[in-house]
Amino acid sequence: MKKNGGVVGAVRKIAEPLAEELGYVLWDVEYEKQGADMYLRITIDSEEGITLDDCERMHRAIDPLLDEEDPIEDAYHLEISSPGIERELKNDMHINACTGWDVEVRLYAPLDGAKSYTGTLLGLGEDGSIAIACDPDGAERRFARASVAALRTRYVFDN
């Protein structure tokens, strides 16, 4: 049996060109156990956003390709979704796509007394650090990737 990373890589090779052909961006692929079942989650995005019809379209297109290529030996549930408005940013592509968005940076260990910072994502530094303009004063802060436990966009509701 392939390890989860092998499954994710194999599915990514199938899903990425298909998503592009359909006008989407492949945002993420996850293969994980939930309860007694295995789930293959493929997340797609587009500049116009993703609708239920888009998810169904991708599902119908990739399902026969997965059956044909057979990258997963065990039974699994296939889910296609949008990353949503509040999304986890896991890699450089995610960070670059969401530069200018409001984010929350959660750290493994406190920095200057805090483990969480919010602000506007400025992007990646030349050293790979994550830069944000912190709330409320807009002061720029950089966080080493190794210190970041989670980076998520956040939606700020108007009052």
Tens digit of each residue's pLDDT (9 = 90 or more) over 132-142 = 999 989 899 99
pLDDT the model gives residue 156: 81
- Give the span between the Cα atoms of 18 and 47, in whole angstroms: 17
Least confident of 1-10, 59-68, 79-88: 1-10
- Show the domains of the chain with their CATH numbers: 4-81 (3.30.300.70), 92-153 (2.30.30.180)
**In Å, how far from its chain's centre is CA 9?**
15
- Give the span between the Cα atoms of 105 and 57, in whole angstroms: 34
SS3 state of residue 155: coil
pLDDT the model gives residue 1: 38
- For the chain, what is the mean pLDDT? 93
Sort 102 into a burial class: Cβ within 10 Å, 0-12 / 13-18 / 19+. middle
Averaged pLDDT for residues 34-54: 96
The answer to whether the beta carbons of residues 28 and 41 sit under 8 Å apart is yes
* C-alpha dist (Å) from residue 104 to 21, 50, 65, 95, 148: 33, 23, 37, 12, 10
Query: What is the Cα gyration radius of the chain?
Result: 18
User: Would the pLDDT of 3 be above 60?
Assistant: no
The two beta strands, 102-111 and 140-143, are: unpaired
pLDDT in tens, 96-153: 999 999 999 999 999 999 999 999 999 999 999 999 999 989 899 999 999 999 999 9
Structure-token pair, residue 78: 């296939």
